[in-house]
């Protein structure tokens, strides 16, 4: 059976170049206050790894795992924490590293949750932001790419745990799993 994959939305080479650019921006912005990168599992693991290597500062890492209730290709905004952070955020310069923002509900929830832990600063770096679908004003400081509102896989993003290892971000044409 052939994979239900459509057009390449962001090729690996463009990902690489843009992430190097984001790394430079973050390096300049956080020069005096190295950030704590908070990756949102699982989707952001690949982005987090490449972004961190593009930041020329002594960054630290932590991870959260969340899952949104709802069908596989649509989020409901009700977020469940599967794994919380290990580190205390008090007085830290926290940068949330997220794979993709669709409705923005997941990030809005995470931002509220982490802001309540008294970080010195809290910003968001999202690799992919879908056009026109943000329901809340999220104030995302670093955006890799604005993409059309199609469902995509690859570069960390899955459907039913598949396709995370595709080097490109690719449109997914199949049914939700």
Closer to ligand 5GP by CB, 119 or 156: give it: 156
Residue closer to ligand 5GP (CB basis): 22 or 79: 79
Q: What angle (nearest 5°) sits at the alpha carbon of residue 107, between those of residues 95 and 30?
A: 15
158 is catalytic: no
Closest CA to 126 of 110, 150, 146: 146
55: left (phi over 0), alpha (psi -120 to 50) or beta: beta
The verdict on 158 binding ligand 5GP (CB under 6 A) reads: yes
Q: Does 101 bind ligand 5GP (CB under 6 A)?
A: yes
Distances (CA, A) of 130 to 99, 134, 152: 11, 8, 10
104 is a site residue for ligand 5GP (CB under 6 A): yes
Among 75, 113, 143, 174, binds ligand 5GP (CB under 6 A): 75
Residue range at the interface with ligand 5GP (CB under 6 A); choices 2-10, 20-28, 115-123, 146-154: 146-154
Among 6, 103, 113, 117, binds ligand 5GP (CB under 6 A): 103
| Euclidean distance between CA atoms 20 and 136, whole angstroms | 28
Catalytic residues: 102
């Amino acid at each position: 059976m052939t994979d239900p994959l459509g057009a390449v939305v962001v090729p690996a080479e463009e990902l690489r170049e843009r992430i190097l650019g984001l790394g430079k921006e973050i390096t300049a912005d956080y020069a005096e206050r190295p950030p704590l990168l908070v990756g949102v599992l699982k989707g952001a693991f690949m982005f987090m790894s490449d972004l961190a290597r593009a930041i020329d500062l002594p960054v630290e890492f932590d991870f959260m795992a969340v899952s949104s209730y709802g069908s596989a290709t649509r989020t409901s905004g009700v977020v469940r924490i599967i794994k919380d952070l290990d580190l205390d955020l008090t007085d830290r310069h926290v940068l949330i590293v997220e794979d993709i923002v669709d409705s923005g509900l997941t990030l809005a929830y995470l931002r509220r949750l982490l802001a309540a832990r008294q970080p010195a600063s809290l910003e968001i770096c999202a690799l992919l932001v879908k056009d026109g679908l943000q329901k809340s004003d999220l104030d995302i400081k670093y955006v890799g790419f604005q993409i059309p509102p199609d469902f995509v896989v690859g570069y960390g993003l899955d459907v039913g745990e598949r396709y995370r290892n595709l080097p490109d971000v690719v449109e997914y044409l199949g049914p939700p799993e």
